Structure 1
Amino acid sequence: MDLSTIVARAAGLASQAGGTALKQLQHIRVPGVGQASVTDDPGTSARRWRAVTVRTDPEQLRTTTPAPLAAFGDRLEVRVTPAPGDRGAELAARFRGPVTEEEIGELRSALREAKQLVEVGEVLRVDPQPHGHRKPTPQGEALEGMTKAAPKEGVL
């Protein structure tokens, strides 16, 4: 067996192990914090509010829905309240009807993008990575897989 085949197999195994480890971490209960909503059944998960704290005046968000959330149209219920400790506004959203896990991930991503648009004026991206490409090592492959899943899963 040549070296490139061995390295490719090792990278595949490392990526698989990273995904398995990430799933296990999502199922861990932390005292006082609870458990990730990823483990809820789809019906319960769809009804749950997802929120971000945005450093802005709550009235600004009440008058204009940020574009990433507006893209969902009438499928979302959006709530804006003052954030605790005078830290701006709490922007929360949830689906009105049944949804898939993929759509819940898209909502999480849209909330983060809305926060960035309001606070910074643009959505920050890291692709392509500023330092270039990672070497195709097992650790690099595992990190690439987690980086791709992070925007929708909220974990990294």
Structure 2
Amino acid sequence: MFDLSQSIFFIIGCLASFALICILFPRLFFSKQKYFPKRVITPFESKMYTRLISAFPQHHVLAQVAFSALITNQNYKIRNQFNRKVTDFVLLDKDCNVVVIIELDDPSHLGKEKEDAERDSMLQEAGYRVLRYTSIPSIHNLQKDIL
């Protein structure tokens, strides 16, 4: 049937085919990637960030700040209500005190007005002022609203 040279040729062909499949479809044989990069802020939020930097050059502008960095409570059930929430922007004065928290509502917020009001209420109860914008205001309007 097969002689030795045919067997060797067959084995080399199988190994070459397997190597080619590994190169073309590596996810079939290697562990799948679990973590992927994502943008810190959306392009819409990027424009607002730039506007805030321009409007308040003597201040610090933080983006995507966790509620847990702004408020706390000893009760686990209460902490759980805000534990995974994030605010869009926090404006700090030169001494790193919070001046205002700014939320930028894009069209994805439509129908979420009650949730947004609850989020604002948590922050306001802790003593923060919260401003919401549906579009990016001018530098003049930001300065007027905030200062």
Specify if TM > 0.5: no
Greater strand proportion: 2
Greater helix proportion: 1
Larger relative contact order, structure 1 or 2 (CA cutoff 8 Å, min sep 6)? 1
